[in-house]
Chain A
Amino acid sequence: MIEKINNLKKEILDKLSEIKDSKALADLEVFYLGRKGEFTKILRDISNVVPEKRAAMGKAANQIKKEIQEKVNEFKMQFESKETQEGEEDITLPGVKFETGHLHPITQLQYEMEDLFTSMGFMTLSGPELESDYYNFEAINIPPYHPARDTQDTFYIDSKNKEGENDLVMRTHTSSVQVRAMQKHGAPLKAIVPGRVFRSEATDVRHEHTFYQVEGFVIDRDITFSHMKGILELVGKKLFGPETKIRMRPKYYPFVEPGSNGEYTCFLCHGKGCNLCKKTGWLEILGSGMIHPNVLRAGGIDPDEYQGYAFGFGLNRLAQLRYKTDDVRLFNSGDLKFIKQF
């Protein structure tokens, strides 16, 4: 019996040495070592051996099987490593193309701003784009025929109220949400309002009638001008880097008093003066101020008890600065040559 096994072992080892590829090796393995293989058959026959010899024989047979199996595995490894080397890769080829999507650059900036402010505990609010004259103008201290309406060419809706006036507008700023927010949430209040706004202005490379803003306001008992400056400094550093400084100077907006604009150190020349900042070293980015008591009152908040600040950023302006786009109309163009760059 053992002899038979040893003969078979020899036969297998001889055949192994002649085998050229893994396919033949696999066939051989099945032929001898498989469930119905020759070697397996012999092992099965051991059960017919007399019990006294069976244990020793079984041990020996298994030992031989193990040896054969190890030899087979050795060959297997050789073939595998050889075969995978065949058909060598050009490792410099690019990968198979996976199509990826794109978020609009203004969406990306808006999210950046939202994340910054929500991390500081601000709510993010929305408001209607088609707005009443009341919330867009009157409630925020811009009565009819206020000269400030000069600078805001407004799209009016072709519908008239009982007095025969066009009293619906496409909102000219996100400030229209201020009084709505105060009426809904009361004070204290910390909120930002990102959104689309409209001005009736002929479009060209530098002008758009549809653009995007982020408005923000904080109302509480002891909110000061200095606090406003503090947060705007922080936004500047976040947007343009830790070295960024803010410069504020008086600017008139009817809904704030005192009113201010805000300029950040030009990120391109770091304040030295270049073409981007028109040699001033500063980029005008925002408008801000302490919320006018009339606006607080319109929102049902007592200005003797509470005070607050408000600010507004133009997202198109930020996007143009950051991405150095040369035509503001690209943002609303639906042109994938543009969008797919972001």
Chain B
Amino acid sequence: MNLSLNWLREYVDIPKKIKAEELGQSLTMHTVEVEEIRSEAEKFKDIVVGKIIEVKKHPNADRLQIALVDIGEEKLSIVCGAPNIAPGQKIPVALVGAVLPNGLEIKKAEVRGEVSKGMLCAPDEIGLGDDHSGILILDKNAKVAKPLAEHFKMEDTIIEVDNKSLSNRPDLWGHIGMAREISAIHGLKFKDYSYDLEKDSCKSDCEKLNIKVEDHKDCPRYMAVSMKGIKIADSPKWIQERLLAVGMRPINNIVDITNYVMLETGQPMHAFDKNLVDKIIVRKAKKGEEMKTLDGENRKLEENTIVIADSAKPLAIAGVMGGEDSEISSETKEIIFESANFDFVSVRKTSNKLSLRTESSARFEKGLDPNLCEKGLARAIDLVKQIIPEAEVSSDLVDHKKFELNLGPIEIELDWFEQILGIAIPTKKIINTLNNLGFSTEEKEDKIKVAIPTWRATKDVSIKEDIAEEIARIYGYDNIPGSMPKLEMSAPIQNTELKLLRKIREALKGLAFAEVYNYSFVNEEQLKKMGIDSSDYIPLANPLSANQTLLRQKISTNLISNVVTNQARFDKFSIFEIGTVFLNHAGEINKDNRSEEKLPYQESRLGMLIAANKDKGIFREAKGAAEAMFRELNIDIAFCESSAQSNWSDKQAMADIYLSDGRGSSAGVLLGTISKLDPKIAKSMGIKKSVTVMEFFVNEILTTSNKQQDKLYKPAAKYPALLRDLAFVVNKKIAFSDILKMIYDHNDYIEEVELFDVYEGESIGADNKNLAFRVRYQADRTLTADEVDNIQKELLKKLSEQFEAQIRDY
């Protein structure tokens, strides 16, 4: 919102010594954020008054003329297309370098072979209305070479306020409200607009307007009055200047007055041509109703939209925009002024639905004070009478209202302010601040009773904390010193999940993994390529793009997409992500505390991925990374046959990852899965690398980790251990875990079995693999070599019987 400093000055005495910058700064520090302060003259920078000396035809273009223009220091030759120029006229000249309000930059140019040094301006080109019929002809007495801004006596300063920072302050959407605020901040005199509707009322032959409000919930207040003797014309210059200064286009006197009143008081106004309206009903739109709004759009109205209608049709969308049918035109002789208050929720809904944001809807949806209707209407009548002396009120004042405001008073113990703010502010200062803001106060012993002014009572101020904010912000947050509370010491409850995740991250960092973040969203197409059925994925109601429509159920999906991002730049890489997945069934977290309903199930997952140019070994490398990471958590894992269906996994290389029983088999707790990405699927996704992905359930890791005992020191064995190597060839299909289990189960003296080599190659047969183990024998006495050799011999026999293992001798 733009504020005109001159306009503000009408309502608050701002001494010259307070500069606009200071005002902007103080508004920012105490009330709302000021985005920019600019002199109004700036928009006419490099535009001066010129005098046309001669006009001649352009030699190469029928419609163009060349004007020789005196701008004081020199005479410029300027090509011009407008027909209305003649020698002797004073006109605005935009010099080379000027940037017009519409963004056009003036450059030295050649127009059909003739040099043109500047531009003569039409009114619309310099933001002075719509007129583009010809060059703006200035007053005869205009002084050549004078900057145009000076000629127009533009000496206003514009303070632009961030609208977002006004969303809780319906009272600040007009200059009067801001003036009050400035008066409170700087301790200046505030001069409110005073009015007397009674005095303005119709004295004789008063018409009774037929106006009905169907439901006061939609429209807490509807005030209206008609005025006759209206002559539609341009507004006087001072009104136009004000409107232009804050960026609003002048239209005609009546429309300009409604806008002026809104910008000044904050109350949106509407004027109907009385002859086009037989009666006024505020009601809900009927099914199928349509209307053409003032912007020329034909709008279908929803049934809950509040409209202003006559007996036949809707005339306006309440609080949002008027309609063309009852628009003020040059023919208008009599008008009805509407100054009303509409339900802010409804206005907001309607404006959102229609994507139609207007100055009016922006104000109504903040929850305007219903009492503001009076001030708006009074000011409008006042202005019409000033501008059109023949005009007079021709009807009784209509005032349909039903609303309640909580005006307090709020009773507050005076020392409570210190309790909440942490600083003692003198009572006198508290009272002054509140009074300057329009709160009336009554001090009673150690309490204060604060009555809320009507313009702050709709939604803004209702509790003592609101009052504390008023005092604190005017006092200045900057003037409240920071301090530290005296609190009891206590050790915070640990978040074991976050602690675990941090450990995991540190471990993976140590293993040369890089952490990535991906969006929580996936799309159907992506899932389809991976052979994943998306029907059970939770969809967004309002996705931003077709790429991000569903909530992820796996970390792996987007992690795999990261391969495409990185494959060109890196030969091999390891990445991980920790994030939430969302499943389409009820979880354990309550939706609210009123029902037993649950939020959809959500859990943290850890995804790990290794991608490399060649397949060679990355599946086992990934396993190794997982083992190493889990070692950090003191968890031993085992890889077991995969139980799940996964269309995107290479069937030859997928496994479930379990907590290990310490001997290479599952201890029954599923921690995650590992799989190689199917090469065909990879290709369809544009992936040129071999990829292995793992996905872990953080909850399961956490539970497992919580149960895990601390690492315990094992004293060195008293008796020497004996080591024996064991190597044999078996069919590839025989699982390592089965062999390992057999070795462990074979004899109690076998304490540790370590696989130290796996070999596959033609020399041992294509279907075979060679496994080499180192077996550690340990007992509570000294084992003899013979004893162990015998045990090992038995073991070899068992291995060849059960797995057809061919023993290789070293």
* Chains A and B come from one and the same complex: yes
**Which B residues touch A252, using CB under 8 A?**
165, 167-169
**Which A residues touch B577, using CB under 8 A?**
334
**Which B residues touch A56, using CB under 8 A?**
none
Provide the bound-state CA to CA distance between A192 and B472, in Å.
26
Provide the bound-state CA to CA distance between A337 and B573, in Å.
11
The answer, yes or no, to whether A124 is at the interface (CB within 8 Å) is yes
Min CB–CB distance A313 → chain B (angstroms): 17
Chain A residue with the shortest CB-CB distance to B578: A107
* A107 engages B505 (CB within 8 Å): yes
In-complex Cβ contact of B422 among A104, A118, A225 (8 A): A225
* A336 engages B573 (CB within 8 Å): yes
* B591 engages A167 (CB within 8 Å): yes
**Which B residues touch A31, using CB under 8 A?**
none
The answer, yes or no, to whether A186 is at the interface (CB within 8 Å) is no
Min CB–CB distance B395 → chain A (angstroms): 35
* B542 engages A101 (CB within 8 Å): no
**Which A residues touch B569, using CB under 8 A?**
336-337
* B463 engages A229 (CB within 8 Å): no
* B345 engages A145 (CB within 8 Å): yes
* B466 engages A336 (CB within 8 Å): no
The answer, yes or no, to whether A102 is at the interface (CB within 8 Å) is yes
**Which B residues touch A128, using CB under 8 A?**
589, 599, 602
The answer, yes or no, to whether B485 is at the interface (CB within 8 Å) is yes
The answer, yes or no, to whether A126 is at the interface (CB within 8 Å) is yes
The answer, yes or no, to whether A158 is at the interface (CB within 8 Å) is yes
* Contact of A233 with B482 at beta-carbon distance under 8 Å, contacts A101-B511, A334-B517, A336-B566 already known: yes
- 1/0 per position for A306-338, CB-CB distance to B under 8 A? 010000000000000000000000011111110
**Which of B140-148, B201-209, B494-502, B667-675 lies on the face that meets chain A?**
B494-502
Min CB–CB distance B27 → chain A (angstroms): 10
* B482 engages A210 (CB within 8 Å): no
* A123 engages B492 (CB within 8 Å): yes
**Which A residues touch B592, using CB under 8 A?**
132, 134-135, 138-139
The answer, yes or no, to whether B520 is at the interface (CB within 8 Å) is yes
The answer, yes or no, to whether A273 is at the interface (CB within 8 Å) is no
**Which A residues touch B345, using CB under 8 A?**
144-145
Provide the bound-state CA to CA distance between A111 and B580, in Å.
18
* A250 engages B591 (CB within 8 Å): no
In-complex Cβ contact of A130 among B468, B488, B551, B570 (8 A): B551
* A101 engages B514 (CB within 8 Å): yes
Chain B residue with the shortest CB-CB distance to A229: B482
Interface residues of A in 71-114 (CB under 8 A from B): 99-104, 106-107, 111, 114
In-complex Cβ contact of B539 among A111, A158, A290 (8 A): A158
- 1/0 per position for B339-354, CB-CB distance to A under 8 A? 0000011001100000
Provide the bound-state CA to CA distance between A200 and B542, in Å.
8
* A156 engages B482 (CB within 8 Å): no
Chain B residue with the shortest CB-CB distance to A101: B509
* B518 engages A334 (CB within 8 Å): yes
The answer, yes or no, to whether A129 is at the interface (CB within 8 Å) is yes
**Which B residues touch A336, using CB under 8 A?**
514, 516, 565-566, 569-570, 573, 575
**Which B residues touch A150, using CB under 8 A?**
167, 348
* A196 engages B520 (CB within 8 Å): yes
* A131 engages B599 (CB within 8 Å): yes
**Which A residues touch B165, using CB under 8 A?**
251-252
In-complex Cβ contact of B420 among A122, A139, A224 (8 A): A224
The answer, yes or no, to whether A216 is at the interface (CB within 8 Å) is no
**Which B residues touch A337, using CB under 8 A?**
566, 569
The answer, yes or no, to whether A220 is at the interface (CB within 8 Å) is yes
The answer, yes or no, to whether B480 is at the interface (CB within 8 Å) is yes
* A130 engages B582 (CB within 8 Å): yes
* A99 engages B420 (CB within 8 Å): no
* Contact of A183 with B468 at beta-carbon distance under 8 Å, contacts A101-B513, A130-B599 already known: no
**Which B residues touch A118, using CB under 8 A?**
492
The answer, yes or no, to whether A48 is at the interface (CB within 8 Å) is no
* B485 engages A220 (CB within 8 Å): yes
**Which of B28-36, B86-94, B632-640, B708-716 lies on the face that meets chain A?**
B28-36
Interface residues of B in 408-440 (CB under 8 A from A): 419-423
* B520 engages A129 (CB within 8 Å): yes
* A210 engages B519 (CB within 8 Å): yes
Provide the bound-state CA to CA distance between A100 and B561, in Å.
22
Min CB–CB distance A87 → chain B (angstroms): 31
Number of interface residues of A (CB under 8 A): 91
Interface residues of B in 443-483 (CB under 8 A from A): 463, 465-466, 468-469, 472-473, 477-478, 480-483
* A102 engages B509 (CB within 8 Å): yes
The answer, yes or no, to whether A140 is at the interface (CB within 8 Å) is no
In-complex Cβ contact of A293 among B465, B469, B570 (8 A): B465
Provide the bound-state CA to CA distance between A229 and B473, in Å.
14
Provide the bound-state CA to CA distance between A259 and B460, in Å.
13
* B422 engages A226 (CB within 8 Å): yes
**Which A residues touch B31, using CB under 8 A?**
250
The answer, yes or no, to whether A15 is at the interface (CB within 8 Å) is no
* B482 engages A226 (CB within 8 Å): yes
Min CB–CB distance B762 → chain A (angstroms): 33
Min CB–CB distance A139 → chain B (angstroms): 8
Most chain A CB within a 10 A radius of its CB, from B478, B481, B520: B520
The answer, yes or no, to whether B508 is at the interface (CB within 8 Å) is yes
Provide the bound-state CA to CA distance between A103 and B344, in Å.
48
Most chain B CB within a 10 A radius of its CB, from A166, A227, A231: A227
**Which B residues touch A203, using CB under 8 A?**
544
Min CB–CB distance B650 → chain A (angstroms): 22
The answer, yes or no, to whether A340 is at the interface (CB within 8 Å) is yes
* Contact of A230 with B484 at beta-carbon distance under 8 Å, contacts A121-B490, A331-B517, A339-B516 already known: yes
* B493 engages A99 (CB within 8 Å): no
The answer, yes or no, to whether A205 is at the interface (CB within 8 Å) is no
The answer, yes or no, to whether B312 is at the interface (CB within 8 Å) is no
Provide the bound-state CA to CA distance between A168 and B502, in Å.
30
Chain B residue with the shortest CB-CB distance to A292: B465
**Which A residues touch B477, using CB under 8 A?**
225, 229, 248-250, 258, 260
Min CB–CB distance B302 → chain A (angstroms): 15
* B591 engages A132 (CB within 8 Å): yes
In-complex Cβ contact of A158 among B473, B493, B511, B540 (8 A): B540
Jot down 10 A-B pairs with beta carbons below 8 A, ordered by A: A99-B512, A106-B517, A139-B592, A158-B538, A158-B539, A159-B541, A222-B419, A225-B477, A257-B466, A337-B566
Minimum-distance CB pairs A-B, first 7: A226-B422, A224-B422, A258-B469, A101-B509, A230-B482, A334-B562, A229-B482
Interface positions of A (Cβ within 8 A of B): 99-104, 106-107, 111, 114, 118, 121-126, 128-132, 134-135, 138-139, 144-145, 147-148, 150-151, 155-159, 166-168, 170, 183, 185, 188, 190, 196, 198, 200-203, 209-210, 218, 220, 222-227, 229-233, 246-252, 254, 257-260, 290, 292-293, 307, 331-337, 339-340
Q: Name 12 extra pairs, CB < 8 A, besides A100-B512, A107-B505.
A: A100-B509, A114-B498, A121-B490, A148-B167, A196-B579, A220-B485, A225-B472, A227-B422, A229-B482, A246-B482, A334-B517, A337-B569
